[in-house]
Structure 1
Amino acid sequence: MRLDLLTVRLRARSSWEAMELGMALVRRHAAAIWKPWWLLTLPAFALLNAAAWAIGQIWLAALLMWWLKPVFDRIPLFVISRAVFGATPAPKETLIAQWRWGWKPMLHYLSWRRFGPARSLYLPIDLLEGVGGARLGERRSVLGGAVYGNAALLTLVCLHFEGALVLACAMAVFLFVPLDYLPETARAAWALVSEQPPAWAQIGRNALLWLATSLIEPFFVGAGFGLYLNRRTQIEAWDVEIAFRKLRKRLLAAGAPLLALLLLAEIPWAPLAQAQERSAAPPQQPAGQVEKPGTPPTLPIVFGEQRVDDRRFREAADRAYRDPLLDGKRTRRVWEQRAKDEKEEQPSAGNNLPAWLSGPAALLAFVAEWGLWLLVAVLVVLLLATMRYWLPWMRGTLRRRAELPAQVETEALQVPETLPDDIATAARKLWVEGRPRHALALLYRASVETMASRANIVLPPGATEAQCLRASRRMPDEGDRSLFARMVRVWQYAAYAQRLPGQDEFDTLLAELQQRYRWAA
């Protein structure tokens, strides 16, 4: 791995900053990522939807596109893993590499690891390092253990972004619907999607899901690669290694002239230096002769009375050894089956407690052991104390309920095609004959025609009450608008809730309609 070719500045970053670094790499190399992405995922989308349409299960295409996400994730990972070292692959090179690169780990990611929340972090470990077996598990534990929660939260955030994009694209359709037709259009769209959606609606839904995935998934992979790169920088000290390599390069560039200068300066003075060393050498003592005990040491004479304080050096060394990144020790716990005849005495926790904690510890142990029964006893006492409130209500639930009356049969309304000349007299006659719904239907129809003429509009055939109320806002008189709204409300209560007005209310409404709308008597 050529660390000196890295195009990013490596340093120890926080997890969120590392994810932003990965997304920045995706933005920088967007063309090299999305061109092969569209060239691979678009044919796959078309083939899967055509096959699902042929068997009549179009929803299966969306499920398979979602399930094949790890296969498509190899495209952005391949691009940014090469581009970070200054070798951005071409789209053709990326597509060719997909046929032979990274297929072995896909067996895991398309089966039991498909629902793993840290796929973006573990995918670079499996595809870029090429390790397997127990070594792969160790690498996953070392690199992903500290940032597993960040990777899982990244998956959740990207999932919500995809859902928001799908919902936004679906809601954008209603921006082109006029305001008057919006409720009916929304009801029709809901019925179209929920009841029996046609094939084109299901394919459109699959297209929205694929489009949202295509926009978010490369950023998801890039953020996971940023986490992976940051973890290797923290553990393996890549930034320190790069600094040393740059220092070595500078020293090698300036070392050759300096070495030649030293050699030229050393040659003329070599004989003189050797002579000075021989003259300055102390006379050797004869064999068997030892130094007198009273002879002072020679080191203080040569170097003087100097003492080196190494306290700060020892403190710096202790701090370096306490650094968890430099600590080579690791604790590993393994479950092993214990023999049946092996019995170990468990030390009692109460024996190690101080005397003043024995009472609270005993109380806590009692509550932990009998707490559930104490809670049941408290609930029973509360039920007995409040029995006079809930017991009468419980007695009523045991009684046999009376049978519901038969559904009221109503005859179909037969309103004449043309309104009578005297609307008030005709409506009162229907009311007296015992046909109140017919009378109210006649008044409602007459009110609608009067409203349309005064508002100077043409209602569409089969206009609903809501459309008529919106159209009545164009009448210039406030009294006409409020009276029409009252008539619509009375008609809705009678037609849909079987709530008829009283005799006095009907007479008052009829009189007001005849007077304000100037119906001929």
Structure 2
Amino acid sequence: MELERISVVLRPRVTREAIDLGAAMLRANARAVWSAWFAFTLPVFVLCNAVGLLLDLPWLGWVLVWWLKPLFDRVPLYVLSRAVFDRPPRWRETLRGQAQWSWRSTIAGLTWLRIDSNRALRLPLDLLEGATRQQRSARWKVLRRRIVGDVSLLTYGCLQFELVVFLSFWLFALLLIPHEWQPESLAQVIRGDMPGIRPLWIVLGAGVAYLAMSAIEPLYVACGFALYLNRRTQLEAWDIDLAFRRMRTRIEALGKLLGVVLLCAGLLPALHAQTPAPPTGKVVTSSVDKIFGAPASASEQRFADSAAPVYRDPRFGGEHTVRSWQLKHPWKSGPQQTSPQFPALGLWLSAIFKGLLWLLLAGVLVTLGWFAWRWRGRWLGEPEAPAVASSSSLLPSESDELPLPDDLAQATRALWQSQHRREALALLYRGCVEHTTQLLQLPPSKDATEADWLRRADGMADTVRAQRVIAIVRTWQFAAYAGRYPDDATIEQLLQGWPAQPGAIA
């Protein structure tokens, strides 16, 4: 590896600082990364969704694009691994460079390692080092040490960010949709017939998921690559290696300068001599080979030969963990230790508190089970048993089976004057719905909502009757959902003419 050409400041960093370094690397090479990303992943996305539509399985494209993430991760890693040496490739070069890397690790990432939470750290090890399987296994045990938890948190954090971006788009789109055009409720969407959803909406959801993945996945790969560089810097002391290399360069330049100075000093007496004479002294030159006593090219071999016995020493490379209990705030300083005066009391108290905690846990589990049994019907979408409705509380959904009174206006007025305002408006709303259905010659429908009747009223040819239907529906909505009831004068206006009086002219 050409460490002299690396553009990243190599030094040991903490995990969070290394993740910030990955985000900075991605920002510096954003154009190269995302141009190659879309050039590689967009055709695959279109192909996967086309296959899903041809097989009449629209959700298949969504699943395939998510499953191929380890394949897509090769693209940003290729760009960033070249960009750290001040050579960010173009997207055509990135696509051609995928053939240079082995596909075995990618096949493993798409099969038995697909749900590996350490994929961001494993990817540079498999693709950049090019080691054998045994060497990769040994290096992975060392590389993942102490940071495996942080890499897993990075995976789950990026997955949550991707989910947030996906849901934010739909929530923002939902805010822009008028209330009359919104679906009846999320519960009906969740409990509804999922195969009945149009394939166009599934493909649109897959597109939004693809854009969310395109925004977060390169960041995930960049942070994993930065953790890989930081871990190798900690293990192999790259920062010290670079310092020694810079020192060697300075010594080489100083040796050349010293040789020139000594050569000039040796020739100076000869220039001042009266008669030419052969030089009696030898010109002393200095170089890196003479300073270190061996050719510079053999330094690495000498270091390896010297380090081999050290590596074979069983005391080298091991980790030892020693655990001991100490008082946080000792009362007496000194090596003497005092035994507790009442050891049995401490044992009894610990057993009592342990039993209380187990009882508390059992109570919580029983309470959760009771709530789950109590609300199982609502979670599973089972219809609840209809309650027995009294004559003074007839809502539209509860009084559909009862016939309308002959004089709708008089029955509504009687309920209103007897302080049953909600029941009166419910009766007027149901009568308006039935008379509007007869007027428009529509089939009876129990699933139509207030928004449906508002849309149907807009399509009525008689504008006066349409305005009456809208007024009655709006009045019922304000009363049923907001608790805002009209005054007596407004009720009298609604009870005049059609539909409260079906035979009257609107």
TM-score (norm 1): 0.59
Equivalent residue, structure 2, for 1:468: 475
Aligned partner letter, 2:2: R
Query: Residue in 1 aligned with 2:27?
Result: 27
> Do structure 1's residue 424 and structure 2's residue 431 form an aligned pair?
no
Report the counterpart of residue 458 of structure 2 in structure 1: none
- Consecutive unaligned residues of structure 2, counting only runs of 5 or more, are 271-277, 282-313, 321-336, 364-384, 390-397, 416-422, 436-453, 455-462, 501-506
CA separation of 1:93 and 1:183: change in aligned 2, threshold 3 A: closer
Contact 1:414 1:438 in 2 (8 A): no
Q: 1:481 aligns with which of 483, 486, 490?
A: 486
TM-fit CA distance, 1:206: 1.3
Q: Distance in 2 between matches of 1:445 and 1:411?
A: 10
Question: Displacement of 1:237 after TM fit?
Answer: 1.5
Distance 1:367 1:176, change over 3 A: closer
Q: Could you give the per-residue CA deviations for residues 152-181 of structure 1, whole angstroms, max 9, x where no partner exists?
A: 111111000010011011112223222455
User: In 1, Cα distance between the equivalents of 2:493 and 2:70?
Assistant: 75
What's the counterpart of residue 124 of structure 1?
124
Q: What corresponds to 1:39 in structure 2?
A: 39
Question: What does 1:10-159 correspond to in 2, within 5 Å?
Answer: 10-159=10-159
1: CA distance, partners of 2:412 / 2:178:
39
Preserved CA contact (<8 Å) 1:480 1:516: no
Take 1:215 and 1:439, find their aligned partners in 2: how far apart are those partners?
51
- Equivalent residue, structure 1, for 2:225: 225
Sort the Cα spacing of 1:465 and 1:119 in 2 relative to 1 into closer, same or farther, 3 A: farther
Q: Provide the secondary structure at the position in 1 that maps to 2:165.
A: helix
Q: Give the aligned length.
A: 377
Alignment of 1:142-221 (within 5 A): 142-179=142-179, 181-182=181-182, 184=184, 194=194, 196-221=196-221
After superposition, the Cα gap between the structure-2 partners of 1:479 and 1:154, relative to the gap in structure 1 and judged at 3 Å, is closer
CA–CA separation in structure 2 for the residues paired with 1:64 and 1:128: 26
How far apart, in 1, do the equivalents of 2:132 and 2:488 lie?
A: 81
Aligned to 1:249: 249
| RMSD across aligned positions (CA) | 4.9
Contact between 2:22 and 2:224, CA under 8 Å: does it hold in 1?
yes
The residue correspondences of 1:305-454 to structure 2 (distance < 5 A) are 329-331=316-318, 356=339, 360=343, 412-415=401-404, 423-424=409-410, 441-442=427-428
- The Cα of 1:196 is off from its aligned counterpart by 2.2
* Aligned-pair CA distance for 1:110: 1.6
The 1:468–1:72 alpha-carbon spacing in structure 2 relative to 1, beyond 3 Å, is: same
Distance 1:58 1:12, change over 3 A: same
Q: Please report how far the alpha carbon of residue 247 of structure 1 lies from its aligned counterpart in structure 2 after TM superposition.
A: 2.6
Q: For 1:479 and 1:29, how far apart are their aligned partners in 2?
A: 58
Contact 2:3 2:242 in 1 (8 A): yes
Structure 1 alignment gaps of length 5 or more = 275-326, 334-353, 384-403, 430-436, 486-512
**Residue deviations 1:414-469 (CA, integer Å, cap 9, x gap):** 558xx96x93379769xxxxxxx99972587589x9xx9xxx99867976987434
Q: Distance in 1 between matches of 2:494 and 2:114?
A: 71
Q: Secondary structure at the match of 2:146?
A: coil
Post-superposition Cα deviations, 1:94-115, rounded to whole Å, max 9, x if no partner, equal 1112234231112321222211
1:427/1:440 contact within 8 Å kept: no
Tell me what 2:449 maps to: none
Paired position in structure 2 for 1:349: none
After superposition, residues 2-17 of structure 1 pair within 5 angstroms as 2-17=2-17
CA gap 1:11/1:480 in 2 versus in 1, 3 angstroms: closer
Contact conserved, 2:432 with 2:472, CA < 8 A, in 1? no
